[in-house]
Amino acid sequence: MVEEPRGLTAAEVAERVARGDVNADVDVKTRSIKQIVLENICTLFNAINVILAVFVLITGSYKNMLFMIVIACNVVIGIVQEIRSKITTDRLSIVAGSHATVVRDGERVEVPLHEIVRDDLIMLGRGDQVPADAVVVSGVADVNESLLTGESNLIKKAEGAELMSGSFVNAGTVRARVVHVGHENYAAKISAEAKQHKKVNSEIMNSLNRIIKFVSFVIFPVGALLFVRQFFSGEGVELNNAILSTVAALVGMIPEGLILLTSTVLAVAVIRLAKSKVLVQQLYCIETLARVDTLCLDKTGTITTGAMEVASIETVDGADEAELCRALASLAAADEDPNETAQAVAEHCAAGGFEPLPASRVVPFSSDKKWSGAAFGDRAYVMGAGKFVLGDAFAVVEEQAAALAATARVLLVARVEGFDEDGGIVGAPVPLGFVAIHDQIRSTAAETIGYFKDQGVTVNVISGDDPRTVAGIAAQVGVDGADAYVDATTLETPEQVAEAVERYHVFGRVKPEQKKQFVVALQKRGHVVAMTGDGVNDTLALKQADCSVAMAAGSDAARNVAQLVLVDNDFASMPKVVAEGRRSINNLQRSASLFLVKTLLSMTLAVLFVLLPWQYPFQPIQMTLISAFTIGIPSFVLALEPNKDRIRGRFLENVIVKSIPGAVCAVLAVLTVNVVGRLALGFDYGQVSTLCVLLTAWVGAMLIVRLSVPFTPIRTALLVVVVGGTVLGATLLHGLFGIVPFTLEMTVLFVACAVGVAAVFHWLYGVFGRWHGARLAKMA
């Protein structure tokens, strides 16, 4: 009689705890909430605006501080989004469980996972997740490592076999000795890398940051020169007026509303996608996915559902199909602890109406025999690997098995005379046929992959499964080049990986670290890469990708590290995400040009009025009027309209091209009013300022007209609101916005300038539009 293992003693456990050999979770700490709040508040962008607000406060003109409302909104949105991201990241835990059964002092006890120590003897049965890397001491079990390796087949683990933390016991019972704890565990190493803070790769964000950095570089020297020039000009400009004029110039340089617009548009996209059961965990990933040109798919859980199904049942020459189906139904029903394969066979046979025979004896599957069997009265059947069942006789049916194996896992079914006392086969097995089993392919997979192909996106399938199986499934769903596949175990150097990902589109036997290498290699070649997956083996690649998508039914690790989570586990939701991204980005590009007109105008005028002998013709409150009706309201309306056009060109270039005509015309109008109004007509500051404000609004309205073509009822209503709001501000609220009554001379000058800049604007808009269109065509 074999003595029951005693496991560790209490003293040995205490000794290991003392030296730190405990299965504690070694987290990579994310930023604290305090750090997130401080980093969002203490930015150069906010500092500039606060300094400007302080100067306005000194003058006592509180109405000119309204621009700080936008700054506050930016800060709040940024903090909320980052705290939300921190919470999801902190939940990242690959090993999900609370207790494990260990043997200590000869007794089985349950302990929390974090109290397991090195060399503990743990008991694992069906459905248990392996809490720490261990080595099997006794027993046999089928282990599912798909979340770690991506290979969907069950792995037989017997004495001496390694168990990886994060894998699941599918059938059987084993005792295993813990060899790694805490950060040494396989799953912990992946989790630690996945938790590293990743910088968002967003072209819009990067473009906005470049604008802000440039403005920050010039704003203070230009502001100082402008203030000195006005206050010491000898024209009698008071200190408060000089400050307000300077602040108006500097506030106009900063596109603070554009940042708020971007956050708002993407937040609306998040809400829309949530209705389609898509969880967005990082705002800017919507933009990134809209720009993706390469999509890397994990097979299991993405193209396939993760469930097993019978692909086909084929008889060998001379065998009876009815007997084959009856044998399959009986073998599946006889399995007392059916795994996913047996369950798939049972479901298929039940659907076919085949009643199983009652079993008189069952021979369970073993890793040595690689088959299972059962006796049913006067007959007996076995099912398993063909070579192990038939031996040399397998050569007769090997070609038929190989053909089926191209897309599925193939098991042979044979009739036998019976079994001996040790469970061995008696007599020569007679083959009846084969059952081919594969992962269930999603019904929408082919259509979804077809969509991406139509959009010019290259689709790569990267899996831990046998490359022949992966290639077969890829071919069924329409992946280009599926007939040429690569066994990733043959790729040993980064150079080989880089060459393979550029030439091939189907990869099998891919290790988790190789998936990340594939993504890196594609990114180095200039591709924008999206990665989808559902297992721990996908986590590193998901973290590396420009846009990462996980299935809700997958591992916690994959869900929490991904930027997008498909709640309904349906890959068919991806086109909706791409469409939403396109709507957001195309509309943002269109609306952003309105903001850049103000930025370019303010920067140019600030420099010019350092040289000109007159006071800067705008006050902060007047910039608020222009921003509200010719920039703010129109940009938000235009940014939320339907738009499914492909993303073309670079964000900043697309925006500036549409901004330059408006900025140039606004600058010409302001200079004309100052030169003619002050030198020829003798206008005072109030009259000049009024004309400059209204002519700038006029240029903004012309840009809105060009951006609104072709007109829709909403766009027509928008133009009415823009014109009506500006007129209302200039008449009924003229005191608030510093607008003085028109004289005949002012009216004549306004009409002349309005007609002139209209002609110049439409000419410039056409010239730049044709140049940019030709450039985009060349890039394509």
Report, as residue numbers or ranges, the catalytic residues.
Answer: 298
- Hey, how many other C-beta atoms are within 10 angstroms of the C-beta on 763? 12
Using alpha carbons, select from 614, 577, 315, 303 the residue that is nearest to residue 442: 303
Q: How far apart are CA 604 and CA 664, in angstroms?
A: 9
Q: How far apart are CA 22 and CA 199, in angstroms?
A: 33
Q: Are 7 and 120 in contact (CB under 8 A)?
A: yes
Q: Are 397 and 314 in contact (CB under 8 A)?
A: no
β strands within 25-93, DSSP E: none
Three-state DSSP state, 346: helix
Per-position b or e across 627-665, b if 16+ CB within 10 A of its CB: bbbbbbbbbbbbbbeebeeebebebbebbbbbbbbbbbb
Supply the DSSP symbol for 417.
S
Residues 6+ apart with CB under 8 A from 399: none
Residue 110, burial from CB neighbour count under 10 angstroms (0-12, 13-18, 19+)? exposed
Distance in Å from the first CA to the final CA of the chain: 77
Residues 6+ apart with CB under 8 A from 427: 416, 417, 418
Residues in the chain: 780
Q: Are 535 and 558 in contact (CB under 8 A)?
A: yes
Angle 11-16-18 from CA coordinates, rounded to 5°: 95
Number of H helices, E strands in the chain: 28, 23
Q: Are 718 and 704 in contact (CB under 8 A)?
A: yes
Element (H, E) at 559: helix 556-561
DSSP 117-138: BTT-EEEE-TTPBP-S-EEEEE
Residue 34 CA to its chain's centroid (Å): 26
Q: Are 685 and 617 in contact (CB under 8 A)?
A: yes
Q: Are 575 and 556 in contact (CB under 8 A)?
A: no
Q: How far apart are CA 480 and CA 476, in angstroms?
A: 10
Q: The tokens of 205 are what?
A: 């964000």
Q: The tokens of 137 are what?
A: 């001491």
Q: Are strands 506-508 and 458-462 parallel, antiparallel or unpaired?
A: parallel
Q: Are 524 and 517 in contact (CB under 8 A)?
A: no
Residues 6+ apart with CB under 8 A from 533: 150, 298, 301, 302, 515, 539, 541, 542, 548, 549, 550, 551, 554, 558, 562
Q: How far apart are CA 565 and CA 554, in angstroms?
A: 10
Q: Are 218 and 603 in contact (CB under 8 A)?
A: yes
In SS3 terms, 209-224 reads as: HHHHHHHHHHHHHHHH
Per-position b or e across 445-455, b if 16+ CB within 10 A of its CB: beebbebbeee
Strand order in 506-508's β-sheet?
Answer: 278-280, 564-566, 547-551, 529-533, 294-297, 458-462, 506-508, 485-487
At which residue do the structure tokens 């939300």 appear? 84
Q: How crowded is the C-beta side of 512, counted as CA atoms within 13 Å?
A: 25
